[in-house]
């Protein structure tokens, strides 16, 4: 069956496709012969880490994925959650780390394009995006180029497509010097009875190719994302795709219009591993085979081989199974939007994946085996050793310590970043980035949705279980602080090389913590992505399991505003012991990453979250306490309102400790009294810690600085470093 124009299958070629000798032996066993070059490419695409989750699958099964609010959990293009009144929110987070490091603008842009397609493929119109970005230290020679390229790529694609950015996070740490992280999130709205899935059904149904033409961009991209970087990185540039947001916008409108015709049986976007992955997934979920004729595939480059067409990751493409009687209507929609519409194959009853090109069979494989027989590894892992206790932390002037945080790229205002993103398009943004969770109104209703993305990688490194818990707990608090009821989460699990037992140990520990918190806080995981092999020259990133979360604000009066005024009392909810292990203070002021992550009491998180939501009528403004503790949270609240602040303490541990399950509330004196009484009844710790007043930031009566001076530092630091 081997075409003499194709390369011979050698050990080197097998290794270049990311397949181990054992995996190749399994392929020989499945098909009973040597694969063709195209077949080898198909197995490589389906069995790499990015598509098969072979190192993570057994552990992912432990996560909670169901609940009364969940319409569709993991396994589809995106997760779906009920928001009442026959409406659903569809959302997912995904990584584009490796492409963004190689080619920052296009890598980040196509990351945004891919996640938007995941959402509208299910019949939802995107209403919000977020991004979580991790870069190396600011002084590293590559960081500035990456920051500029990635931010411009996200803005360039998202702004042109026309979806508002609701929020996100940006961090810097030397661990990301050789491997930045770009995690993209998108959410859309759909009618709960008009959702589209990817499982094919019916024999002899046409398989239709939709969207942009296929080129050679991205061939082998998913395989590249399943390996570490080394000094050959420049050679990988051709594996990064090029995005076109205007084509994608047309593709979305055409897809949503097509769905309304009733012609769509199933639909799948072409993401990683392109035509291969989308065809296999559709066939496998429907228990059908697929036959493709590649001569029918719209191409934009001459002389493309079957191998290239099957593995191309050209953007803005979909694959669908169509009701044949509605072919003319379906084609008319795509002609109207000036997009390709081509019947490229059909569903068949046999369990085969047959690829024809130029009259020859280029691949003939058992389709279900490509998916179901993908390797599943229980890789060896060792638990992360307990952190050494934290040594003495010298007392520090609170103003000096606050200034050190305010000028750090990790904690200063990120307006330079989010002002490059369109945050107001569609006119439903109720709260733009920079003030905790973002809020989008659900158009034409009284409802709104809150969005946040959270993780503290230092915590996960020190204690994966508590760090995993904390990422979910912080997302829960960020949603709660807006008045929203948390609904569900999506995760983007970024780790180093899973073949190292200590890295695998971080992964297993973090998942344990995430699972515990999702159960306790009723925030099931409904979608997500695993990104492994985030290493360069053997040095891994900090473990970064990003949690994206969505909450519901059912009526306008449930929303907690940002109304801080002169004379408001500052109330602290939750216990403060002054935990400084792995804190921002320790890192930024003393250059130390020591001690344990703060412990997370999930019962307290739930109780304190319920208390905030039950008593939202008494709360003028609210924020959770996380990195930087009370001092940073209170400053951010005061600064946003343009009001000074007087905190009653000057103790470093009390001001900058990062104990969990805590909120800071601003309200009038009368409301503070009512909250105190309610907290006493609910068994929730609460104390007055100062008030918002005057035009300075004061700690006890020992240290102070003008608010205007601190605000100028906070607002200018990022641009001064990177602009």
Cα angle 36-38-42, degrees, rounded to a multiple of 5: 115
**96, 98, 579, 608: which one is catalytic?**
96
Q: What is the crossing angle of helices 398-406 and 629-641, to 10°?
A: 70
Cα angle 211-216-217, degrees, rounded to a multiple of 5: 80
| Residue 50 annotated to the active site | yes
Q: What is the crossing angle of helices 21-31 and 37-47, to 10°?
A: 120
CA-CA-CA-CA dihedral for 328, 334, 335, 339, to nearest 10: -140
* Pairing relationship of beta strands 448-454 and 544-553 according to DSSP bridges: antiparallel
Q: How many CB atoms lie within 10 A of CB 395?
A: 11
Residue 212 backbone phi and psi in degrees, to 5? -90, 165
CA-CA-CA-CA dihedral for 104, 176, 711, 477, to nearest 10: 100
Q: How many CB atoms lie within 10 A of CB 709?
A: 13
The tokens for 597 are: 């992550």
- Contact (CB, 8 A) for 521 and 484: no
Per the document, the length of the chain is 723
**Rg from Cα positions in the chain:** 26
Residue 552 backbone phi and psi in degrees, to 5? -110, 130
Q: What is the crossing angle of helices 245-260 and 327-336, to 10°?
A: 150
Could you give the C-alpha distances from 348 to 202, 330, 621, in angstroms and in order? 8, 22, 59
**17, 50, 357, 579: which one is catalytic?**
50
* Pairing relationship of beta strands 317-322 and 206-211 according to DSSP bridges: antiparallel
- Contact (CB, 8 A) for 435 and 640: yes
Q: Which of 700, 576, 687, 564 is nearest to 636 (CA)?
A: 564
- Contact (CB, 8 A) for 14 and 240: no
| Residue 443 annotated to the active site | no
Q: How far is CA 648 from the centre of its chain?
A: 39
End-to-end Cα, the chain, rounded Å? 57
Q: Which of 455, 18, 546 is nearest to 272 (CA)?
A: 18
Residue 253 backbone phi and psi in degrees, to 5? -60, -40
Question: Catalytic site residues?
Answer: 50, 96
């Amino acid at each position: 069956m081997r075409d003499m124009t194709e390369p011979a299958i050698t050990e080197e070629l097998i290794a270049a496709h990311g397949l181990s000798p054992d995996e190749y032996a399994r392929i020989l066993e499945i098909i009973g012969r040597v694969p063709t070059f195209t077949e080898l490419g198909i197995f490589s695409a389906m069995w790499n880490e990015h598509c098969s989750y072979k190192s993570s699958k057994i552990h992912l099964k432990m996560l909670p994925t169901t609940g009364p609010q969940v319409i569709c959990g993991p396994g589809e293009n995106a997760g779906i959650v009920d928001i009442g009144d026959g409406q659903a929110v569809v959302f997912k987070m995904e990584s584009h780390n490796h492409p963004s490091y190689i080619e920052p603008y296009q890598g980040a842009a196509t990351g945004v394009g891919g996640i938007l397609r995941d959402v509208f493929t299910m019949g939802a119109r995107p209403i919000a995006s977020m991004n979580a970005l991790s870069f190396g230290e600011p002084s590293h020679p590559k960081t500035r180029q990456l920051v500029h390229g990635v931010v411009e790529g996200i803005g360039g694609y998202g702004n042109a497509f026309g979806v508002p950015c609701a929020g996100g996070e940006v961090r810097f740490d030397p661990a990301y010097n050789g491997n930045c992280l770009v995690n993209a999130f998108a959410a859309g709205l759909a009618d709960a009875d008009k959702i589209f899935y990817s499982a094919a059904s019916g024999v002899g149904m046409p398989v239709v190719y939709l969207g942009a033409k296929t080129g050679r961009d991205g061939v082998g991209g998913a395989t590249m994302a399943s390996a570490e970087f080394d000094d050959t990185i420049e050679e990988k540039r051709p594996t990064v795709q090029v995005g076109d947001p205007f084509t994608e916008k047309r593709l979305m409108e055409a897809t949503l219009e097509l769905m309304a015709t009733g012609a769509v049986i199933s639909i799948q976007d072409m993401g990683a591993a392109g035509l291969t992955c989308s065809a296999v997934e559709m066939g496998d979920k429907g228990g059908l085979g697929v036959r493709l004729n590649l001569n029918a595939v719209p191409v934009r480059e001459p002389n493309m081989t079957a191998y290239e067409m099957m593995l191309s990751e050209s953007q803005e493409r979909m694959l669908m199974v169509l009701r044949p009687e509605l072919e003319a209507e379906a084609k008319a929609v795509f002609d109207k939007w000036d997009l390709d519409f081509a019947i490229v194959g059909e569903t068949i009853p046999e369990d085969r994946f047959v690829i024809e090109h130029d009259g020859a069979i280029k691949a003939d494989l058992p389709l279900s085996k490509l998916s179901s027989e993908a390797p599943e590894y229980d890789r060896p892992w060792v638990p992360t050793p307990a952190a050494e206790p934290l040594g003495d932390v010298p007392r520090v002037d609170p103003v000096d310590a606050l200034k050190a945080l305010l000028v750090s790229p990790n904690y200063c205002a990120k307006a330079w970043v989010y002002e490059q993103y369109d945050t107001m398009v569609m006119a439903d943004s109720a709260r733009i980035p920079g003030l905790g969770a973002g809020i989008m109104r659900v158009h034409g209703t009284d409802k709104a949705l809150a969005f946040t993305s959270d993780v503290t990688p230092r915590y996960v490194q020190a204690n994966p279980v508590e760090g995993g818990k904390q990422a979910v707990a912080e997302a829960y608090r960020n949603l709660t602080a807006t008045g929203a009821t948390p609904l569900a989460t999506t995760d983007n699990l970024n780790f180093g090389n899973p073949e190292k037992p200590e890295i695998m140990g971080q992964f297993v520990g973090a998942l344990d913590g995430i699972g515990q918190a999702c159960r306790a806080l009723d925030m099931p995981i409904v979608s997500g992505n695993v990104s492994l092999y985030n290493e360069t020259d053997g040095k891994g990133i900090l473990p970064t399991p990003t949690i994206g979360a969505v909450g519901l604000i059912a009526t306008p009066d449930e929303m907690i505003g940002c109304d801080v005024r002169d004379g408001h009392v500052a109330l602290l909810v939750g216990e403060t012991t002054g935990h400084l292990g792995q804190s921002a203070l320790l890192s930024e002021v003393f250059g130390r990453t020591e001690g344990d992550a703060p412990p997370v009491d999930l019962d307290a998180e739930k109780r304190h979250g319920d208390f905030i939501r039950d008593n939202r009528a008494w709360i003028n403004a609210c924020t959770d306490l996380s990195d930087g503790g009370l001092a940073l949270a209170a400053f951010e609240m005061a600064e946003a309102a343009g009001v000074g602040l007087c905190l009653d303490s000057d103790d470093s541990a009390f001001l900058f400790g990062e104990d969990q399950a805590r909120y800071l509330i601003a309200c009038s004196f009368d409301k503070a009294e009512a909250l105190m009484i309610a907290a006493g009844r609910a068994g929730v710790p609460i104390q007055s810690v100062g008030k918002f007043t005057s035009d300075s930031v004061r700690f006890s009566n020992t240290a102070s600085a003008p608010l205007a001076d601190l605000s100028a530092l906070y607002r200018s630091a990022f641009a001064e470093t990177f602009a």
